[in-house]
A = this chain, B = another copy of it.
């Protein structure tokens, strides 16, 4: 079993805000992440698949194909978008935290990986914070 990882990037706006809470409670919990006019990040995404290298090509999966799938299913839908307002694959009202993003990026990708298995979604929000999800 060999693990292969592809890095992709997207830049997006978001804020953390619970509609049912008062402004005061939102700022207490989310701090400056609750600022009303949004802020944003350069997100860095690592998608890892695992499998046996093909005896002829030496590929677990063609990394160009993996990149195409990740761009079509994830990056093109998130890049230069607002994560609270614009993303069809995020449930309505869900907080666009890095934790929730990795789970829903996994769901978005898992049925598109053929011939090997999706292993890990890792997402950097800043150089100091990242989340990982392994499908369960």
Copies of this chain: 6
Contact code string A76-106 (vs B, CB < 8 Å = 1, else 0): 0001111001100000001111111011000
Q: Which of A99-131 contact B (CB under 8 A)?
A: 99-100, 102-103, 126-131
Q: Does A16 contact B (CB under 8 A)?
A: yes
| Set of chain B residues within 8 Å of A99, measured between Cβ atoms | 2, 4, 53, 58-60
Given A5-B130, A99-B53, A11 and B41 contact (CB-CB distance below 8 Å): yes
Q: How large is the interface on A (under 10, 10 to 19, 20 to 34, 35 or more residues)?
A: 35 or more
| Set of chain B residues within 8 Å of A8, measured between Cβ atoms | 128
**Distance A98 CA – B79 CA, assembled complex (angstroms):** 18
A133 touches B3 (CB 8 A): yes
Contact code string A49-71 (vs B, CB < 8 Å = 1, else 0): 00001001111101110010000
| Set of chain B residues within 8 Å of A53, measured between Cβ atoms | 97, 99-100, 103
Which residues in A have some Cβ–Cβ distance to B below 8 Å?
A: 1-9, 11-14, 16, 18, 29-33, 35, 37-42, 53, 56-60, 62-64, 67, 79-82, 85-86, 94-100, 102-103, 126-134, 136
